[in-house]
Amino acid sequence: MSIDYVVKSAEKIKNMEVRGAGRIAKFCAKVLMEYAMEIKKNFDEEMKKAAEILLNTRPTAVSLYNSIYYVMDYSGESDEEKRESLVKRAKEFIEWVDTAQKEIGRIGSRRIKSGSTILTHCNSASALSVIKEAYRKGKDIEVFATESRPRYQGHLTAKELSAEGIPVTLIVDSAVRYFIREIDYVIVGADAITVNGSLVNKIGTSQIALIAKEARVPFMVAAETYKFSPKTLLGESIVIEERDPAEVAPEELRSLVKIRNPAFDITPRHYIDLIITEIGAIPPEMAYLVIKERLGYRLLGEDELKL
């Protein structure tokens, strides 16, 4: 296995064959682990190269950054010891993703009353974990899924939920305000949570939050603690990924006008009622504590890490 394997894996993240913040994070841990198992010499150097290639794929996914930093925080004297430590950390991170999403489902589903209608945006494993768990517990629920232009991740959500037997209504993104009176809760996932409790998620999320607030519909976020951004505690802001205009309009139009295609937007914390994490359902104001207590190890100086 050469570095080409890492380059090809990074390509899968860039072209969204592997997408969704949690899946991306888990995939990166797996790629680093597999690469580490094959390296014959210059372990630190090779791993650093691989980590950098993966880091430069989707800038907004903080979980990608957190996954890489978690795995790269290995120790040991010899290459063999380092490899062993890295593999152990990668497995721990993968386990963290799996258990966190289940736990979020367990905690979040308690908030859902039988007979309710939930609106979700894009395709979030964590948000869907809450919805599926509520349904599995026997609650009579219905879901409205936005199509989530331009990549239509809402179609994935609609298929995934209807495969479980949950009744789903698919709507265009601009129909949220039209239907808000029929909605009891909004539940979305997260690409990142900043130190001040703001949410970064699929473009359009902040408009939905605004509509929900106006209509007094609770707006909940399902976010594992590795979605919280330690860099924001150090004063950095989250970079919003802008994708290819070709995702939005055909060449004919692209040659006439400028097209902007931000993939994510920011929802300020006062639009968020609750963040459901694997350590509990918390108010957005607690983001600082989550970063400090759960992710503190990533506030070490960069030299102390392997990057």
Catalytic residue among 28, 122, 173, 273: 122
Taking the least distance from each CB to ligand RUB, the nearer of 109 and 153 is 153
- Written as six digits, the tokens of 102 are 């289940």
Q: Which residue number has the CB closest to ligand RUB?
A: 189
* 4 tagged catalytic: no
Closest contact distance (angstroms) between CB of 119 and ligand RUB is 13
Taking the least distance from each CB to ligand RUB, the nearer of 20 and 108 is 20
Taking the least distance from each CB to ligand RUB, the nearer of 48 and 111 is 111
Closest contact distance (angstroms) between CB of 256 and ligand RUB is 27
Closest contact distance (angstroms) between CB of 299 and ligand RUB is 23
CB atoms within 10 A of CB 256: 9
- Written as six digits, the tokens of 163 are 């495969």
Closest contact distance (angstroms) between CB of 298 and ligand RUB is 18
Taking the least distance from each CB to ligand RUB, the nearer of 48 and 149 is 149
Contacting positions for ligand RUB (CB under 6 A): 19-23, 122, 124-126, 153, 189-191, 201-202, 263
Taking the least distance from each CB to ligand RUB, the nearer of 202 and 306 is 202
Closest contact distance (angstroms) between CB of 22 and ligand RUB is 3
* 122 tagged catalytic: yes
What burial class does residue 249 get, using C-beta atoms within 10 Å of its C-beta: 0-12 exposed, 13-18 middle, 19+ buried? middle
How many Å apart are CA 118 and CA 25, to the nearest integer? 27
> DSSP letter string over the chain?
--HHHHHHHHHHHHTTSS-SHHHHHHHHHHHHHHHHHH--S-HHHHHHHHHHHHHTS-TT-HHHHHHHHHHH----SSHHHHHHHHHHHHHHHHHHHHHHHHHHHHHHHTTPPTT-EEEE-S--HHHHHHHHHHHHTT---EEEEE--TTTTHHHHHHHHHHHTT--EEEE-GGGHHHHGGG-SEEEE--SEE-TTS-EEEETTHHHHHHHHHHTT--EEEE--GGGB-HHHHTTPPPPPPB--GGGTS-HHHHTTS----BSEEEE-GGG-SEEEETTEEE-GGGHHHHHHHHSGGGGS-GGGS--
Catalytic residue among 28, 173, 191, 273: 191
Taking the least distance from each CB to ligand RUB, the nearer of 131 and 233 is 131
Closest contact distance (angstroms) between CB of 190 and ligand RUB is 6
**Looking at the annotation, which residues are catalytic?**
122, 191
